[in-house]
Amino acid sequence: MATSDAEVRAKVDSVRVWYHRIPLRPEIVTPGINDPAQTLRHLDIPDDCRGLRVLDLGARDGYFSFELERRGAEVVAVDYVPADQTGFATVAEILGSQVRYQQANIYSLDPAAIGTFDIVLFLGLLYHLPDPLRAIEIVRSLCHGQLCLETHSIDKGVLLPNGTKKALQELSPLLLDVPLMQFYPGRTLSGDPTNYWGPNLSCLVGMLEECRFRVKSHTLTADRAIVNAEAVEDREREYLLKLARGLRDRA
C-alpha cells in the first residue's frame, strides 16, 4: 500500500492507459478520459451500503467498485481482462481495497458459482455485447435487488449512412416510443469494432421488462441512457425466455 503522495503518483504514472478519473488523494486524480462521478449522481445507490452485496460488471479501473466499497458494500468486480492490464490493481493497492476481482466474460457468469447480489452495476457495457438480451437475462439471474444500467443510446443521435447523426425526434417524433436498436457492423461507430448496438430508451425499457426488471427512473444525457431498475418476479416471462432458448418444453 502506497503511503506518500510521491509513491502514489509514481504508481499512477506506471499505468499505461487510464479510463476512469478516480480521486486518490486531495491533489491526486487518475488521468482518465471518463469522469464517472457524472454517472454516479444519476444512480439510485444508498449512501450507506453496509450489509449489501454488489456486482460491478465491466469494472475497468474500478471507480464504482471502490466507491461502493467505501460506502460499506461487499463488492465483486468483473472484467474480461486481468486487473493489472487496467488501473484496477494499482488503485486497489493504493487504497488497500478488499474488492474481489474476477476475470470473466459476462456470458460465462453463473449464479451457482458467483452468487446473487443486492445491487448490480451494468455500466458502459451493454452496447459492446453482441447478444444484449441474453446479457440482460444473465444479469437478472445474478440480481435479486437493484440494477443500475448505463449505455450508449440513439435517442439523441441515430448514425446515418453519411456519417452524421440526427435525433430520433428530428427523424420522426413517433420513433421515440417505438422500441428500436441500431446495429453497428464492423467499425461503424467511432471506429471501434466492439461497438455493436445502440438501443433507444423505449427499447432498453422493453428489454429490461422482458427480462423481469421494473424500471424506476431513467435519464438521457447526450448519447447515453442511465436506468435504475429493480428485479421483479414474472413467471410467464421467465418461462417464455427459457422456451425461446430451448431450455423448456412447450406446455
Tell me if 2 is assigned to some domain.
no
**Which cell numbers hold the place of 19?**
479510463
Distance separating alpha carbons of residues 103 and 77, to the nearest angstrom: 8
Cα–Cα distance list, 120 to 63, 175, 213 (Å): 14, 30, 12
Distance separating alpha carbons of residues 98 and 107, to the nearest angstrom: 25
Residue 107 belongs to domain spanning = 35-244
pLDDT value, residue 246: 87
Number of domains in the chain: 1
pLDDT for residue 3 is more than 80: no
Q: Beta-carbon neighbour count of residue 193 at 10 Å?
A: 12
Residue 150: in which H helix or E strand, if any?
strand 143-152
User: pLDDT above 70 covers what percent of the chain?
Assistant: 98
Mean pLDDT for the stretch of residues 85-113 = 97
pLDDT band at 22 (very low <50, low <70, confident <90, very high): very high
Return the exposure string of 113-139: e unless at least 16 CB atoms fall within 10 Å of the residue's CB, then b.
Answer: ebeebbbbbbbbbbbbbeebbebbbbb
pLDDT value, residue 146: 98
Residues 6+ apart with CB under 8 A from 205: 215, 218, 227
> For the whole prediction, is pTM greater than 0.85?
yes
Tell me if 28 is assigned to some domain.
no
Distance separating alpha carbons of residues 63 and 67, to the nearest angstrom: 6
pLDDT value, residue 76: 98
User: pLDDT above 90 covers what percent of the chain?
Assistant: 95
**Which cell numbers hold the place of 21?**
478519473
- The answer to whether the beta carbons of residues 219 and 151 sit under 8 Å apart is no
Tell me if 101 is assigned to some domain.
yes
Summary mean pLDDT of the chain? 95
pLDDT for residue 6 is more than 60: yes
State how beta strands 158-159 and 165-166 pair. Answer: antiparallel
Tell me if 4 is assigned to some domain.
no
pLDDT value, residue 210: 97
Chain segment 26-41, per-residue pLDDT in tens: 999 999 999 999 999 9
Backbone angles phi, psi at 175, to 5 degrees: -70, -20
Mean pLDDT for the stretch of residues 207-232 = 97
pLDDT value, residue 199: 98
Chain segment 175-213, per-residue pLDDT in tens: 999 999 999 999 999 999 999 999 999 999 999 999 999
pLDDT value, residue 1: 62
Tell me if 194 is assigned to some domain.
yes
**CB < 8 Å & 24+ apart, contacts of 161-165:** 165/223
Q: Beta-carbon neighbour count of residue 42 at 10 Å?
A: 17
Mean pLDDT for the stretch of residues 5-30 = 95
pLDDT for residue 251 is more than 60: no
Tell me if 127 is assigned to some domain.
yes
- CATH number of the domain enclosing 76: 3.40.50.150
pLDDT value, residue 2: 61
Mean pLDDT for the stretch of residues 68-96 = 97
Tell me if 21 is assigned to some domain.
no
Tell me if 186 is assigned to some domain.
yes
- The answer to whether the beta carbons of residues 56 and 62 sit under 8 Å apart is yes
